[in-house]
Structure 1
Amino acid sequence: MADGHRDTRSIRRLEDARFLTGRGRYVDDIAEPAALHGFVLRSPHAHALIRRLDVAPAASLPGVHLVATADDLAADGLGLMPCLAAVTPLIVPPRPALAAGRVRHVGDPVCFVVADSAELAREAAERIEVEYEPLPSVVNGRAALADGAPALWDEAPGNLVYHVRRGDHAAVAEAMKDAAHIVELDVTNNRVIVVPLEPRAGIARYDAATGTMDLELTGQGLHGIRRQLAEFVFKVAPERIQLHAPDVGGGFGMKNFLYPEWILLLWAARRLKRPVRWLADRAEDFVMGAQGRDIEATARIALDATGRILALDVAMVANLGAYLSANGPGASVVAASTAQGGVYDIPVIAVDVRGALTNTVPVDAYRGAGKPEANYIVERAIEAAARVLGRDPADLRRQNLIASFPHRTAMGMAIDSGGFVANLDAAVARAPGFETRRAESRARGRLRGLGVACFLETSRGAPNEGAEVRFEPDGSVTIAVGTESNGQGHETSFAQIASRHLGLPIEAFHYVQADTRAVRSGAGHGGARSMHMGGAALVKAMDAALSKARQLAAHLLQASEHELDYDQGRFTVRGSDRAIDLATLAGSAQEAANLPEGMSPGLGEHVLNITDVFTFPSGCHVAEVEIDPETGAADLLRYTAVDDYGRLINPMLTEGQVQGGLAQGIGQALVEHTVYDPQSGQLLSGSLMDYALPRATDLPFFDIELVERPTDANPLGVKGSGQAGCIGAPQTVMAAVLDALRPAGVEGLEMPATPLRIWEALRAAKPGR
């Protein structure tokens, strides 16, 4: 696509008018005059026994309504927070909403205070007397699995909670014997702190008349969170708990999960019979919001004498933190299975992954959730192999790319379509003249590098999705979808789908999401699944509604169904002037007397789209960096992406999703660095004073080409785009950095490539500089 902004599909987001004029509605904007305020007292230690806990000084303060401990929750019969990751066998240590007897990471919740104001709740929390007995801590996954490491849980000997093996280990071992070249390297996918613009917040209410708890929260995946709250924690029927989210200011995965605060808010509101609200400050989200990545891997790649890849062997350790988050192990298992091997035709693959508990914040799905980790491993391995073989990295990739479809990977994934070779060729062709620019940089004493890398996304997220179409009395159409936006533009893209399908103006549609009262079912956000799963469900719901409308139109127009044409919201009898529009049909459908025999009232339809089919977004990226060897500073000067997301609904919104993902992937590669002190377990990068995020000045203007290769996996032909940028960017940027540093003798470097790390690597390669 030459210029997505000129495509007629690229309309501006409908929701932006609300956001840009200050009419966005976020949790902290919602007035609740009678609400009390909650504050969580958190552990200052990474690992310690709670020897004494005295809440009386806080509880006696005027205006304090509740000071809760783990004993209070247990006495009320509250259950533990579950881990629902599809990993077997899996050890799940107990996780109450408040720490019971021992804290296991800095920020672990100890007490919950509810008072008349947020300030008073904080003041009361400071009066709580807690006597801790510090214990040894461990913050690194491999260190946690080593002999003699501090033990976090009796339930998890050696801090190991799962050991999963995927692929054909015997075949890989055999292929390694016949290989002309075996290249081995260690790679680390560094831990990141997730920093959405809006921190977590919630308002809980309790209706004593119905016994219903209600939670307004900044979250996604609301039906799943409700299920966990109802089934595992409060042990009530799901309809006794209602969740809804207003506008959500970013999430990137971390808002998809059950948190202790959601439990505490609902429990306190029920106990006090008053609304209770809570807003995290940034420091709280740094030590409680789920963090991402943190996988260390050793990869061995085997090639024959011509450079053809014979086998890939990967051993990984995933640092999961102190507790298992709802899907915490899921990302590392995805990295070990669906996405492993990327876009390459690798005959046999074997993966071994172990999950380790450490005294750190729990890890869960972060934009890409295992796909960035898997792609990073194979791309770094191929890059290293190219250097060992003296091959151009792009040529070695081209030789091994999957070139025909359908293709079944060594991990069992059936890739239906793609253009991997074409993506690479197009990306490289968009970045000519590099050697001239490298010479110019060298003349100024700078090091310039070019990186080329590919990616393969396995897009689906949770299987199955629901959607509903409702025709309102005022002529508008409500579309309720179980996927949930946290900034992607769903109000626009889903309305575009509905407008094209039903032939009605886009203004006719009202989009509903993230409300268990108004949306029957849904698996929420995650896995780049919204268009693939939710969009397909919406199409099926509209088709069902149109089928019903056609039947009614034929009855009212006294014609057979095959005589009817449908266009622009109207059914017409072919060859006549008889016609009826959809709004009139919807009104007529409410009266039983108007209906043909056997037809139920109303045109609205709810459809559950039962499917577990993946789609496979893919692309090739090219990055160019320049490094100042005196300071170690790396400037990203050029970035090209040629990506295939199937048929596009709104190319401009798609490009925006890619840009956001690229920014996060580049941030991980160059600046984002989560640091825990190995002795104390303290989070040293515990604020935005210490944890760097990419800024506009860190990024070039992106050169993005979107190539449409529709898939047959869903009726829209779409492939997910929300995660792809941060899947492709880290290895591309790191390839460019290493290409710049190699002439100076630096052969290896881990993310993030900060100025200090680059400076130290240069001096280690050439002492005395």
Structure 2
Amino acid sequence: MGASDFANLPHIGEAVRRKEDYRFLTGAGNYTDDVTMAAQSHAIFVRSPHAHATIKSVDIAEASKMPGVVGIFSGKDIEGKMGGLPCGWLINNPDGTPMKEPLHPILAIKKVRYVGDHVAMVVAETVEQAKNAAEAVVVDYEVHTPLVSVADAAKKQSGVTIHDEAPDNQCYKWTLGDKAGVDAAFANAAHVTKLDLVNNRLIPNPIEPRVAIGNYSRATEEYVLYVSNQNPHVERLLMTAFVLGLPEHKVRVIAPDVGGGFGSKIYLYAEDVCLTWAAKQLNRSIKWTGERSECFLSDAHGRDHVSHAEMAMDAQGKFLAMRVHTDANLGAYLSTFSTAIPTILYATLLAGQYATPQIYVEVDAWFTNTAPVDAYRGAGRPEATYLLERLVSRCAWEMNLGQDEIRRRNFISSFPYQTPVALQYDTGDFPALLNRANELAEVAGFAARKAESEKNGKLRGLGYSCYIEACGLAPSNVAGALGARAGLFEAGEVRVHPTGSVTVFTGSHSHGQGHETTFAQLVAARLGIPVENVDIVHGDTGRVPFGMGTYGSRSLSVGGTAIMKALDKIETKAKKIAAHLMEASDADIEFANGEFTVKGTDKKIPFGQVALTAYVPHNYPLDKLEPGLNETAFYDPTNFTYPAGAYVCEVEIDKSTGEVKIDRFTAVDDFGTIINPMIVEGQVHGGIVQGIGQALMENCVYDNETGQLLTGSFMDYAMPRAADFPNFKLDTLSTPCTHNPIGSKGCGEAGAIGSPPAVINAVLDALAPLGVKEFDMPASPHRVWEAMQKGATTPTQQPQTPSLAASTQGRPAA
């Protein structure tokens, strides 16, 4: 079945209400913190108050005597007994030498390297007893100077060494592209645009903090870890194979309902291993529930790039070549996918939607005394899009072209298209996306709205962003060649019951994406049964055959295709059963709308009858088929999928306060085949909100002198709220993916990828008359106000040359 056939099936494209929402909205969800084990005790972690210090001693004498305490562990208890937390992606330097990979112990050994680093774990009968005992643990530190800023790390002048294995604090240098070719193109360019920018650090803050429960049975020598995690099979693999050295079949990882992840719950964290290991040491279940302050300190952060970019153009604004240098902050230790974010998932997307013939990228990755940095919604793709779309808009302003016009001149026009940075796009229609975005955003009326704002003493600006992303995070052979230390396939099992109802076991994991509905629609469409007759099981290594989890917008295109392949096997076997029942050849059996028919006859039987026959095989070809109707399939894609979109943002700025108001926001996306448009719309809304959050208010800040986290609570770290936004105008156009049977591309990260540059380009457009040429996120009121004051000292005449396309927005001077 091809993608076009699949898209026409019943249930596909229907806005079915999410099956899982009833239990969530009525408080019946089952989250990790809702789980209570027999003989359960509680853990509290003693965390470092210093960013960089030597541990001289850990005194637990008084704490051990306190009421309810059953165990206290520190670095000396694990030293030499287990491995460190592994990094799942190996990056090589240009000379072929591997990156530096210092030990990441589950409890600090001899040294702490960021505020929040794990020093000791206290286990007691109650949370209150554990907290009291944790306060009684006395740690003697010798405090050292910290290194916080990635820009400072890149200067190599700090005199700070975080890991002995990396004396200069550099983890790796990585390059991609033809440097000589790019240099030659720049030498012959009519115009070169240059841009320096910062992609600010973010703290994920899912609504549910991380939680874990470790359990061990002496009777069976089996471990069970309940954890709030996006990929339990990967968690189990990393913990057993790399850290604890346990037989994988003796460890079960269960991730029940998960209240949001955004990437921050992909990883194997120290707490998870500590609880699993200590459960055997103490022979009791141990539970840890993270508090919001711990989320700020120790959950993996996102972004944190400092970059320089240049674009070479001919006299008509056609792109000839681009070169980029990025310094990426990895934090104090390597998190699970951290090394891949500023390389494989960032540099390979720098072509964007444009036919730039040559691109060369250099990435230097650095250790600092901050929390580890890893994937956050979009994972490298937002960083690439932000850099590229900021640069393209700057090119337009310097060439005196409209923001939309310069994009049209450089769009990729034919597919498949091989980019100069490794990826090959299979399909797309970028001009159509931009045309529809301009129409929905009513760009033709912008000049009148701008004039009205000026009458009211306000500034108005229009910003564009045209993104493309690589989703699916596969195929495994390509990922392996690029440094992945695991396969990136997916597994699905379809179990048809005697009555014709179905249970699906998927290696994908849902933490807000609506899999229980979308996957049910997929199965119902193929088998011609009601959506309510399909149940989805995920998040349990004891029930699901295997899986690589959910991230990178891979669930439907990879996990869904694995289910489709299992359904192919179900259909093949079911046709043989139907053929036997109708005394025909299975080659003559057709299946559609839940019925098996014999070609050229009126003979037909329903799917339910075939299912019952498989389990009650009184009239059954036992000489040819086993009873039952249960199949498993694995799927490894042949390419990434490539969602794309065009976003237009219109802002109004209050001159007196610097407050930026999003007045209009339009997003037109190409997600390929859409199963449930209501769920897609929700995903896009959430992504746009997170992207605008980064652009306008979110900013993780450490003190450069002490390494203390200055934005350690919601008092200091602003999060977007509903009142901060207008109603978004959304639409989708579809060019189905050519290499999966569903035709889907992925939608979960798009909004967070496309929105930040659209917002900042709009802010810069509004500030152009004041001479403001550059601005880094977030565009919070005081930062915008300061920029206006500095810019106003040298006001720049705004160009008045009309755009060659629909937009007539102002342009910052070159």
Answer with 224-233 or 572-581: which moved more. 572-581
CA deviations over 1:21-74 (Å, ceiling 9, x no partner): 111111111233521001001000011111121011111112100100111123
1:452 to 455, 461, 464: 464
Q: What residue number does 1:547 align with?
A: 572
TM-superposed CA distance for 1:566, in Å, is 2.2
Q: What residue number does 1:56 align with?
A: 61
Contact 1:341/1:375 (8 A) holds in 2? no
2:510 to 485, 489, 513: 485
Q: What residue number does 2:441 align with?
A: 431
1:233-632 to 2 correspondences below 5 Å = 233-432=243-442, 433-462=445-474, 463-473=488-498, 475-574=500-599, 579-590=604-615, 594-632=620-658
1:84 to 88, 92, 106: 88
Contact 1:37/1:115 (8 A) holds in 2? yes
Question: d(CA) in 1 for partners of 2:83 and 2:669?
Answer: 45
Contact 2:346/2:381 (8 A) holds in 1? no
Contact 2:693/2:719 (8 A) holds in 1? yes
Q: Which SS does the other structure have where 2:344 is aligned? A: helix
Q: Which SS does the other structure have where 1:175 is aligned? A: helix
1:17 to 12, 17, 22: 22
Question: d(CA) in 2 for partners of 1:348 and 1:297?
Answer: 18
Question: d(CA) in 1 for partners of 2:344 and 2:722?
Answer: 32
CA deviations over 1:257-282 (Å, ceiling 9, x no partner): 00000011111211111111110000
Q: What residue number does 2:149 align with?
A: 140
Question: d(CA) in 2 for partners of 1:339 and 1:112?
Answer: 41
Question: d(CA) in 1 for partners of 2:610 and 2:279?
Answer: 45
CA deviations over 1:122-145 (Å, ceiling 9, x no partner): 100000011111100111112113
TM-superposed CA distance for 1:612, in Å, is 4.0
TM-superposed CA distance for 1:349, in Å, is 0.2
Structure 2: which 5+ runs fail to align?
1-10, 93-97, 475-487, 796-814
Question: d(CA) in 2 for partners of 1:246 and 1:66?
Answer: 28
Structure 1: which 5+ runs fail to align?
1-5
Question: d(CA) in 2 for partners of 1:84 and 1:768?
Answer: 50
Contact 2:44/2:121 (8 A) holds in 1? yes
Contact 1:39/1:114 (8 A) holds in 2? yes
TM-superposed CA distance for 1:585, in Å, is 2.9
Q: Which SS does the other structure have where 2:343 is aligned? A: helix
Question: d(CA) in 1 for partners of 2:41 and 2:746?
Answer: 41
1:166 to 176, 183, 203: 176
Q: What residue number does 1:96 align with?
A: 105
CA deviations over 1:78-128 (Å, ceiling 9, x no partner): 221101114222111101100011100000000001000011101000000
Q: What residue number does 1:125 align with?
A: 134
Contact 2:12/2:674 (8 A) holds in 1? no
1:717 to 743, 764, 767: 743
CA deviations over 1:717-755 (Å, ceiling 9, x no partner): 111100000110000000000000011111111000111
Answer with 406-415 or 257-266: which moved more. 406-415
Answer with 465-474 or 320-329: which moved more. 465-474
Q: Which SS does the other structure have where 2:673 is aligned? A: coil
Q: CA separation of 1:576/1:303 partners in 2, compared to 1, >3 Å: closer, same or farther?
A: closer
Question: d(CA) in 2 for partners of 1:490 and 1:331?
Answer: 25
Question: d(CA) in 1 for partners of 2:439 and 2:600?
Answer: 54
Contact 1:471/1:583 (8 A) holds in 2? no
1:200 to 206, 210, 216: 210
Answer with 332-341 or 317-326: which moved more. 332-341
Instruction: Output the aligned Cα RMSD.
Output: 1.6
Contact 2:229/2:266 (8 A) holds in 1? yes
Contact 2:499/2:611 (8 A) holds in 1? no
Answer with 573-582 or 452-461: which moved more. 573-582
Contact 2:60/2:137 (8 A) holds in 1? yes
Q: What residue number does 1:3 align with?
A: none
TM-superposed CA distance for 1:679, in Å, is 0.4
Question: d(CA) in 1 for partners of 2:347 and 2:613?
Answer: 52
Is 1:675 aligned to 2:704, yes or no? no
Question: d(CA) in 2 for partners of 1:768 and 1:405?
Answer: 46
Question: d(CA) in 1 for partners of 2:767 and 2:464?
Answer: 15
Question: d(CA) in 1 for partners of 2:302 and 2:681?
Answer: 24
Question: d(CA) in 2 for partners of 1:743 and 1:24?
Answer: 52
> Could you tell me which amino acid in structure 1 is paired with residue 697 of structure 2?
V
Question: d(CA) in 1 for partners of 2:750 and 2:645?
Answer: 8
Question: d(CA) in 1 for partners of 2:223 and 2:553?
Answer: 31
Question: d(CA) in 1 for partners of 2:434 and 2:781?
Answer: 30
> Could you tell me which amino acid in structure 2 is paired with residue 130 of structure 1?
V
Contact 1:335/1:373 (8 A) holds in 2? no
> Could you tell me which amino acid in structure 2 is paired with residue 446 of structure 1?
K
> Could you tell me which amino acid in structure 2 is paired with residue 83 of structure 1?
C
TM-superposed CA distance for 1:474, in Å, is 5.0
2:239 to 216, 229, 234: 229
> Could you tell me which amino acid in structure 2 is paired with residue 443 of structure 1?
K
Question: d(CA) in 2 for partners of 1:567 and 1:170?
Answer: 57
Question: d(CA) in 1 for partners of 2:22 and 2:440?
Answer: 35
Question: d(CA) in 1 for partners of 2:386 and 2:597?
Answer: 56
Q: Which SS does the other structure have where 1:764 is aligned? A: helix
Answer with 606-615 or 468-477: which moved more. 468-477
Answer with 305-314 or 579-588: which moved more. 579-588
TM-superposed CA distance for 1:387, in Å, is 1.3
Contact 1:334/1:369 (8 A) holds in 2? no
> Could you tell me which amino acid in structure 2 is paired with residue 131 of structure 1?
D
TM-superposed CA distance for 1:177, in Å, is 0.4
> Could you tell me which amino acid in structure 2 is paired with residue 479 of structure 1?
V
TM-superposed CA distance for 1:334, in Å, is 2.7
TM-score normalised per structure 1: 0.97
Is 1:695 aligned to 2:721, yes or no? yes
> Could you tell me which amino acid in structure 2 is paired with residue 652 of structure 1?
M
Question: d(CA) in 1 for partners of 2:285 and 2:627?
Answer: 39
Contact 1:64/1:121 (8 A) holds in 2? yes
Q: Which SS does the other structure have where 1:430 is aligned? A: helix
Contact 1:595/1:601 (8 A) holds in 2? no
Question: d(CA) in 2 for partners of 1:390 and 1:412?
Answer: 32
TM-superposed CA distance for 1:578, in Å, is 5.1
Q: What residue number does 2:479 align with?
A: none
Contact 2:438/2:648 (8 A) holds in 1? yes
Contact 1:336/1:351 (8 A) holds in 2? no
Q: CA separation of 1:592/1:232 partners in 2, compared to 1, >3 Å: closer, same or farther?
A: farther
Contact 2:268/2:336 (8 A) holds in 1? yes
Q: Which SS does the other structure have where 2:341 is aligned? A: helix
